[in-house]
Structure 1
C-alpha cells in the first residue's frame, strides 16, 4: 500500500494523430491515481491535434499543453522532461493507449522496492482493431540489480530497448536526453538509462497497447536511414568499453551483427535496392565480426551464432552478385 502518492509525469509527444489522441489521453485520465500531471507536447502538428489538446486541457486540470515547432519525437520528449516535475516519468506515444491501474501499480512496486525503473509488458494492435482487451494480471515481477540489468539490456534479453513501456525515476534523466533528429532514438538512449539505474524491475503483465500503423517510420522501407545503426553500436562500444574495460564488447558486437544481417535481408527484398548501401552493410558486418573474433571474452556459442549470421549475409550477397546485380 502507498503511504503517499508521489507526483507522476506522463509525457505524450504529439504529431498529427487527430484520429488517436482522444483515446490515448482518455486512458491516461482514467487512471486511478490521484497525483498526476499529463504533458501533451504538440510537435507542430498540422491537423486538428492542437485543437484537441487545448480542448482536453480546458476539461482536465491535470493536463498541460505545450505547442512547439516541429523538431521530432526525441525533442518533444526532451521538452516534456524539461517541463516535468514528477518523481516518476512515463513516455506514452499518442497513438497508443494504456491499461487502467498502470500508474498506481507501477508506483506501488517502485516505492516498495526503491526501484529506479520498471518495465511492463505490451501488446501489439492493428489500426483496424476497435475493441480493447487485456489478459488477466499475474502480479508477479523480477528484480535486477545494476550489473544484471545492464547485461540483459545489452543482450536484448528480458529488458528491452523501448522507451514507452517503462516507468522511470525522473533523476535518471537529470543529464541524459534523447538524440535529436535521429531515428531509432530508443536504441540510442535506453542502454544508458539502464546503466544509471541501481535497481530495475520487470513484470510480464501487459499494461500497454502499441499501435502498428502502416505509414509509421518503423514500417517504412529500408534505406540509408538505417546507417544510423553503425553510429548507435559504435557509440555503445566506445562508451561501455571505456567504462567497463571491454566487459560487454562481445555482446554489443554480436547484436550489431544481428542487426546488420537483418537489414541486409530486408534491403534485398526491395526491387532495385541501393547496391552501395548493401556493400556498406556488408563491409561493416565484416568489421564487427573480425572484432568479435579477436575479443578474448567472446564465448564459443556467441561466436558460432555470429558466424551463422555472417554466413547468411554472405549467401545473400553472393546470390545478388551471381545474378549480375552487383
Structure 2
C-alpha cells in the first residue's frame, strides 16, 4: 500500500491551491482510469485533489448556438443529453462506444480527455516504458504492438490514445477550457493532446497546475450529418483498433464541408487535415473518399504486426463517409 493524501475541494480556487501545495498532486473526478493505474503501480500521486463536488457538471447552450460541457459531466449523461443527441450525433455515438454502462456512469468529460494509454508495457511496472519512466526504452517497438500506433509515433513511443470521446471532439473542432493560478486559457481539442516525439511521458499540452473546467462545442455546421464508427476485437468493452469520427455536408452532389478524425492510430486523436482538403468541392462518391483517405494514410509507418490498421482505417473512413453522403441525399 502506497500512502497518499486526499483533499475534497469545495471550489475551483481551493482545488488549485491544494494541487499547488501537495507533493505529486493529481486531480480526481470519476477515477475510472487513475485509480486503476494506482492499483497497478503505474501512477503514484502524493495527494489526490477530489473535484467531484465542484459546480462543473452542467451542459448549457452558448449564445452562439454551441454547447458548454462542464468537466465533471458524466459520460452517460452527456451521451443522453437531448442537444447532444440531436446536434452532435458523432459525440453521442462515440461516448456510447466506450467502456461499459457502469463506467460511463462514473467517467467524466475531463477525465476522459486525460485517460492514459492502455499499452501493455505502460501498465506493467516490471517492464521498461519511456512514457512511465523516461529514458528506460520502448520494448513495444519490437514486442507486442498489434494495437499500437501507425501514425505520428517516434523511436521513443508507439502508444495510442484510448479515448473515443476525444476523437469526436477533434472532428467537431471543440475547445478545452483550462484554469490555473495564472488565469484561464483555451486550447483547440486538436492541439490538446500531443505526439510523443522525445517526450512521450507528456500526453497533453497541459501546464503544471492546470485544471480542465469545460469543453466547448461550436455550433453545428448547417446541413452536416455526423457519425462515429469503431472497429475492435470484440463487440463491447474493448478499445478501438481503428475508429472514425466524421462530419459531412453535401450540396449539389459535391462535398461542401468535411471533418474527419481517426482513433486508435496515433498518440492522439488524428485529425485528417490532408483528407479533408482533398474532399472539399469534390464529388461525394466512394472513389473520392478512397483517394482522400489514401492521401491521409500515406504518412503511416506501420510496425511489424500492425500494418493491417492502415487498410482498415481507409476502408472504415470510406464506409462512414459513403453512408453520410447517402443520408445527405
TM-score (norm 1): 0.31
Higher helix share: 1
